[in-house]
Amino acid sequence: MAKPRVVVAVMLPAAGLDLLRERFIVDSAGNGAENGPLLARVPGATAIVADPAIPIHKSVLDAAGGSLAVVAN
């Protein structure tokens, strides 16, 4: 079974990324990625980990589609 994919749009410590990589394919979008660049990365993602200072707009949620289960910061 393939690992689910998580888009990370915030700088996380290496320890946090390592924990995510144990269970997920991690697509790192960099620190504070804005909604525009996220649109291309989120289709098919199971989760988005975002910087709390960057609001995640409806367009990003729509682009992720039905696979998206959680948005966290």
pTM of the model: 0.87
Q: What is the pLDDT of residues 2-59, one digit of tens each?
A: 899 999 988 889 999 999 999 999 998 766 556 677 888 999 999 999 988 888 889 9
CA distance 54 to 72: 12
Which residues touch 6 (CB under 8 Å, ≥6 apart)?
Answer: 20, 24, 25, 26, 27, 45, 46, 47, 48, 49
